[in-house]
Structure 1
Amino acid sequence: MTFVKWAGIVFISLILFLILGIALINWNWVRDVAARQVSEKLGRTLIIQGNLSVDWSQTLHVRVEQIRLENVTWSKQPYMFELAALDFHIDLVELIKGRLIFPRVTLIKPRVILEKSYKGEPNWDLPLDFDVEFPLIKRLIIDDSHMVYRDLSTNTADITLTFSTIRAQVGDEENTKLHVHGKLNGKPLAIALNAGSWLALQQLEKPFPLALSVQASGNKVADEKALVILLQLKGYLSREENIWRFTNLDVQIGESDFSGSIRVDMGSKRLFVKANITSNKVNLSDFVSLIDFASNIKSEDSTSLAKKQEKRQEEANAVVLPRNNIGLESLQHIDADIRFRGNHVPSQVPVNNLKIQMLLDQGHLSLAIPDFDIASGKVQLRVELDVTKKPLKSKIEVEIRRVQLNEILRSLESSGENLGVIGGQGIFWFKGDSLADMLASADGGLLMIMDGGKLDALLVELSGLDVGESLVKLLGDREMVEINCIFLDLPTKNGVMNMDSLVVDTEDTLYLGKGSIDFAREQLHLVIDPRPKDLSLYSARAPLHIKGSFKAPSILPEASAILRGVASLALLPAAPIVGLIGLLSEKNKEHEDMRCSGFVNAINKARK
């Protein structure tokens, strides 16, 4: 036993002596060998001027100081990368098991310069092989980092980024701070990110705080040099196994605000997203600004070139409807249950009390808007998509109740005179992967009715066309025609929308419309024919013929368009009109005072 005891003491002494000898070795020779090997691998000189120190314990502690990587020859900056010190620990126990784990990595004052030359050559084009498993870093500390990005080829980017992991006081939790400032496409840009530590993000034992702010230049009306808030985001990120949650969500996009929670389940084969979002105000122009900002990240020259090519293509193309693929195939891999409530959407046509329910289940999308307030009325909308089918199948249902058309036109800076109340119901089925294909396959129909209004303003404002002399002849040289009621029936089959019944009832004339809209061929063939109630006015009314392509329609008074004798009050369907009148008034309220009620009586008399 004595021999074994002394043998053990000698063995342990030798091990301690060996560890002490290794610890006292001057490790700078390893530093020089590593620098030469990296230089040969990258084709650029790596300089390590500081000491390489190694501290042996349960975790191997290595510190390398004053590291520099040579830049490309065309750059004015001598170094692409500089680092005051690299300090890291390696878990020896895990290393013996074959796993490379860094309990802590510290980067002290890293300086990075990323540039593109005048010829578009990037200085970061290095022969690196990333086809390796990246080691686990449990704790990453970055102290006072500084990165610059410049694009000399287009002179569109000059951005400086600072990043650091800070702790206000001893014992406080670490926070991550990132700040970006500079110019993008010649306009100022500022981004600020405040979050928890890298370790907290990996473990997520408690909610991870996150705050992001993006500011860019104002619009042309304001001072373009002034920074305005594009995006602000605050909230807490947490994880429980494969379930991620973003709670206490507070997002501001321009003047629009959003709050709520998002839950993402990544544990099953299909990603599942559940969200409940509310908003007091949604300004659509804020999203336009955000999209413009995202698109401007690209080179201004390449963007403008793409726009010019797109414009030339549009001019050369005789069609109007978009034929590009909508691209919804990715929805097959995601399930979702998203609820949104928006109190106010201050667009040109303000929308209030907007509720959206979206369900996505194995490629079947159901989007329901139970009802929302618009122009003193209400609209209900339901959309269904089946992206598992090829081509894509879709369905749209809509109901319009007592919407004031004059409020819509007034918001569009039109005359906004008394243009009546509209109501309607519609349902359409589509097949196709583009908007053009969908409309070319449309089946269904739309019924609409309008009570009151003025005929000239209605035609001019809704069509957006200068019909000039044709409209004057249609109205019989009158500046304004008071409307009693308008009824429109648009049955649709195989992409052809037939105008079976268009009736405009005025005090002295019935305007009857017939024709079709062919979405597959993008052709119009519509006729509006006046039927004076007083025969003495018969010759004073000229029919209006709308024909030709969507791109270049013609609107002319033509005798060949006369439909007299083809349509009459006796042939008009009274039942659909009676059903639609209920959409022009509030529920449980009488509507005898409506002009369309008198129109129905006239139809019934004509049938006798």
Structure 2
Amino acid sequence: MRSTSGSSTRSIAMRWLIRLAGVLLLIAGVAVGSVLLLPGDRIARIASDQIRAQTGRDLVFTGDTQVTLWPVLGIVTGPVAFANASWSDQGPMFTADSLAIGVNTAGLFGGDVRITKVDAENPVVRLEQRADGRANWLFRPASPTPSNVPAPANPDPNADKNEFVLEHLDVRNARLIYAVEGQDTIDIANVDLSLIWPEPAGAAQFDATARPTGVPLSIKVEIDKFAEWSQGQPQPVSVAVSGPGGAVSFEGVAGILGELAGQTKITTPDTGGFLNALGVGPVDVPQGLGRKADISANVTLIRDGVLALRDAVMNLDGNSLRAEADIQLGDVPQINARLSAGRLDVSGLNAGAGAPAASSAGTAPATPSSWSTTPIDASVLSTFEGVIALSAEAIDFGSLKLDATRMDLRVDRSRAVVTLEEVLAYDGRIAGEIVLNNRNGFSTGGAFQGTGIALNGVLSDMAGWKRLTGQADIRLAFLGVGQSVDQIMRNLSGEGTLSVGRGTISGLDLDRLIRSGDGGGGTTVFDSLTASIVMKNGDVLNDDLLLILPQIETRGAGRIGLGAKDIDYLITPVAVRARSGNGFAIPVRISGPWAAPRIIPDVGAALELNFEQERKALESEVRQEVERTLQKELGIVTEEGQTTEEAIQDKLEQELGRSLKKLFD
């Protein structure tokens, strides 16, 4: 009996389960059938009406619209266009060749449009923003209820029930156009985008791949309370952009109009490659200025396009700096920045100027006998304008080394002026300004003064010349024009003065030269040196050098070839007490290339200078002896005021006259 009863119970349960499953299948069939019985354009029209109600914009479908079950339950449309803001004249905000829209069936019948998935083929998205803050992606700008309008006594609980929800969006081969009034339009093609937004009140995640230059960039964005953010309310946002050569991240709060505040980090093992991937263009970042960079900063961007950087810490190729900056964004950013640093090594600026480009023909690096012919790329001067103030403990430019430095860089329309406010260098001080002008071809010039400058250090660093020591006061003004260092050095012009106290000249012993005629290999110790120069066509010309030694006074004149890296200079030391106070001079000619100049006494000039009086005395003595012989042998007497030649001519005329007279007698 028990067995029969238990079997009956199980049988009844199975029948009810079968009936329940049948009912569920029937319900599902009715639901699916109801969707399939709805024309595709009816579903599209329902979606379009809901979107219009939510955004105030028309969504227009053209072509056939079909209901689908696979891969999503929904519709597949033909070409589609979403209207732009009423103030725009640039056409639709969104167009696509086709859309595949998956919808939630229950929500559709309930009046809500809950889209589970959208696939867009070849869409074009145009984002526009006006200077007054209007943006075409703000569908319903917030407008507070006037305080004098009372709230309804019995609000409709279903008034806000119907809503538009997009759970998942996939976009392939999109074109994104971003146009801000008064700025260059950004136009990026071949973009893939995925949006996941499962809850209307929750966060949205974007995962995109952009290819501004054909190289893929990964862009990941997460926005909290995406619906509120899309209506203009700033929300917590995280952004990560990565690609070949580097990555950028942001964590903070941001609004849909571009305002933001938070922490940003930039890490670029290959800054040039990363900038190229971003579409900035081929950029060869000099070593020392961030070829490899690690940067963090607190950033704030307000709606009028002013970006503020605070507490910025930068590591650029091992150079550590701290910075604060205010940047007015635009086609040409306006920068006002303050930088502070310890010891900076930017010798790569000099090395970069001398390094030939791999694809450049007819260029060469600098050598001991020539300057670099590699074209100078000063295009960076056109990328921004403004003022950058720098203070550093020391700066190594390679060919110039500075100690404690305060300087300002002012850039205006591709012209930069570096003002040396306070610079300690080579045991002295330097002040003045240097100009780099790339407005119409490249040129550089400047004017500066140096006091107490150690000549050995500065000449060694700038020209590789180590023969002269002493503390100098220098004044120099110069101008050079050219597209390479070689061109600039070969047409330098300008003028200057030099005044040196006690110092030395190695490789030349003027005292030994005076005594023995051999001054090579020694060292000259002098009390003072003064000179003025004129620069013309890359040559330094001087004719008033004065070098004072205890018993020797040396003058100099000649040419120093800055362009050719050669020298042709005559130094004339005079032993002022020699030859009974008449002095004794042995000129020395320095000639040849800077790397190996020849120092040779000029014997011809020495004879001319030292024996001029003796030569004149000898000439007078010979002339007197000739006159005495003529008087004795020929009877020629020189009258007062008459030269010997004239007396001989008179004597010949007299003798010829007497001979002719005898001939006719």
Q: Indicate the TM-score class for this superposition, using the shorter chain for normalisation.
A: 0.5 to 0.7
For residue 22 of structure 1, report the CA deviation from its aligned partner: 8.3
Change (3 A) 1:566 1:26: farther
Paired with 2:562 and 2:241, the residues of 1 have a C-alpha distance of 52
Map Cα deviations across residues 349-404 of structure 1 (whole Å, 9 max, x no partner).
Answer: 7533322223334455432112201133101131245555x465653101111123
Aligned position for 2:281: none
1:24-43 matches, cutoff 5 A: 25-28=67-70
State whether residues 431 and 438 of structure 1, in contact with CA within 8 Å, keep that contact through their aligned partners in structure 2: yes
Change (3 A) 1:355 1:132: same
Aligned position for 1:342: 392
- Say which is worse superposed, 246-255 or 519-528, in terms of deviation: 519-528
User: Which amino acid in structure 1 is aligned with residue 265 of structure 2?
Assistant: A
TM-score by length of 2: 0.49
Q: Is 1:425 the equivalent of 2:489?
A: no
Paired with 1:165 and 1:346, the residues of 2 have a C-alpha distance of 41
Aligned position for 2:500: 450
Change (3 A) 1:18 1:429: closer
Paired with 1:166 and 1:504, the residues of 2 have a C-alpha distance of 75
State whether residues 491 and 500 of structure 1, in contact with CA within 8 Å, keep that contact through their aligned partners in structure 2: no
Q: Is 1:265 the equivalent of 2:307?
A: no
For residue 422 of structure 1, report the CA deviation from its aligned partner: 1.6
Aligned position for 1:543: 588
Given the alignment, which residue of 369, 377, 380 partners 2:420?
369
State whether residues 485 and 506 of structure 1, in contact with CA within 8 Å, keep that contact through their aligned partners in structure 2: yes
State whether residues 334 and 386 of structure 2, in contact with CA within 8 Å, keep that contact through their aligned partners in structure 1: yes
For residue 546 of structure 1, report the CA deviation from its aligned partner: 0.9
1:88-99 matches, cutoff 5 A: none
Map Cα deviations across residues 97-139 of structure 1 (whole Å, 9 max, x no partner).
Answer: xxxxx9989789x9xxxxxxxxxxxxxxxxxx97799999999
- For 2:342, what is the secondary structure of its paired residue? coil
Aligned position for 1:247: 310
- For 2:506, what is the secondary structure of its paired residue? helix
Change (3 A) 1:130 1:439: closer
Change (3 A) 1:486 1:360: same
User: Which amino acid in structure 2 is aligned with residue 248 of structure 1?
Assistant: D
Paired with 1:429 and 1:286, the residues of 2 have a C-alpha distance of 23
Paired with 2:519 and 2:351, the residues of 1 have a C-alpha distance of 50
Count of matched residue positions in the alignment of Structure 1 and Structure 2: 438
State whether residues 174 and 196 of structure 1, in contact with CA within 8 Å, keep that contact through their aligned partners in structure 2: yes
For residue 424 of structure 1, report the CA deviation from its aligned partner: 0.8
Change (3 A) 1:478 1:430: closer
For residue 409 of structure 1, report the CA deviation from its aligned partner: 8.3
State whether residues 510 and 532 of structure 1, in contact with CA within 8 Å, keep that contact through their aligned partners in structure 2: yes
1:519-558 matches, cutoff 5 A: 524-533=567-576, 535=578, 543-547=588-592, 555-557=598-600
For residue 447 of structure 1, report the CA deviation from its aligned partner: 1.0
State whether residues 212 and 234 of structure 1, in contact with CA within 8 Å, keep that contact through their aligned partners in structure 2: no
- For 1:456, what is the secondary structure of its paired residue? strand
Aligned position for 2:266: 212
- For 1:281, what is the secondary structure of its paired residue? strand
User: Which amino acid in structure 2 is aligned with residue 53 of structure 1?
Assistant: G
RMSD: 6.3
Paired with 1:136 and 1:251, the residues of 2 have a C-alpha distance of 34
Change (3 A) 1:16 1:399: same
Paired with 2:218 and 2:189, the residues of 1 have a C-alpha distance of 29
Given the alignment, which residue of 441, 450, 458 partners 1:400?
450
Map Cα deviations across residues 448-486 of structure 1 (whole Å, 9 max, x no partner).
Answer: 1222232217x89xxxxxxxxx9x998725633322122
User: Which amino acid in structure 1 is aligned with residue 503 of structure 2?
Assistant: G
Given the alignment, which residue of 334, 338, 341 partners 1:280?
341
TM-score by length of 1: 0.53
State whether residues 490 and 497 of structure 1, in contact with CA within 8 Å, keep that contact through their aligned partners in structure 2: yes
For residue 212 of structure 1, report the CA deviation from its aligned partner: 1.7
State whether residues 397 and 428 of structure 1, in contact with CA within 8 Å, keep that contact through their aligned partners in structure 2: yes
Given the alignment, which residue of 381, 402, 411 partners 1:360?
411
1:136-535 matches, cutoff 5 A: 164-165=220-221, 173-177=236-240, 191=246, 193-196=248-251, 200=254, 203-215=257-269, 230-266=293-329, 271-284=332-345, 306=359, 320-322=370-372, 326=376, 328=378, 331=381, 335-345=385-395, 351-362=402-413, 364-384=415-435, 387-388=438-439, 390=440, 394-405=444-455, 419-456=469-506, 476=519, 479-493=522-536, 495-517=538-560, 524-533=567-576, 535=578
1:100-115 matches, cutoff 5 A: none
State whether residues 391 and 407 of structure 2, in contact with CA within 8 Å, keep that contact through their aligned partners in structure 1: yes
User: Which amino acid in structure 2 is aligned with residue 546 of structure 1?
Assistant: S
Aligned position for 2:103: 54
Map Cα deviations across residues 226-281 of structure 1 (whole Å, 9 max, x no partner).
Answer: xx9743332314133233333332222244222333333346xx735232222131
Structure 2: any 5+ residue segments left out of the alignment? Answer: 1-37, 48-65, 80-99, 121-135, 141-163, 173-186, 198-202, 229-234, 271-290, 611-665
Change (3 A) 1:287 1:395: closer
Which structure would you say has the larger RCO, counting Cα contacts within 8 Å and 6 or more residues apart? 1
Larger Rg: 2
User: Which amino acid in structure 2 is aligned with residue 342 of structure 1?
Assistant: A
Change (3 A) 1:525 1:272: same
State whether residues 325 and 433 of structure 1, in contact with CA within 8 Å, keep that contact through their aligned partners in structure 2: yes
Change (3 A) 1:559 1:406: closer
State whether residues 403 and 421 of structure 1, in contact with CA within 8 Å, keep that contact through their aligned partners in structure 2: yes
State whether residues 529 and 545 of structure 2, in contact with CA within 8 Å, keep that contact through their aligned partners in structure 1: yes
Change (3 A) 1:336 1:367: same
Paired with 2:205 and 2:604, the residues of 1 have a C-alpha distance of 78
- For 1:203, what is the secondary structure of its paired residue? coil
State whether residues 498 and 516 of structure 1, in contact with CA within 8 Å, keep that contact through their aligned partners in structure 2: yes
State whether residues 175 and 194 of structure 1, in contact with CA within 8 Å, keep that contact through their aligned partners in structure 2: yes
Structure 1: any 5+ residue segments left out of the alignment? Answer: 1-13, 38-50, 68-89, 95-101, 111-128, 148-158, 182-188, 217-227, 296-302, 461-469, 568-608
Paired with 1:482 and 1:213, the residues of 2 have a C-alpha distance of 55
Map Cα deviations across residues 177-227 of structure 1 (whole Å, 9 max, x no partner).
Answer: 45679xxxxxxx8x5543137x937534332421123458xxxxxxxxxxx
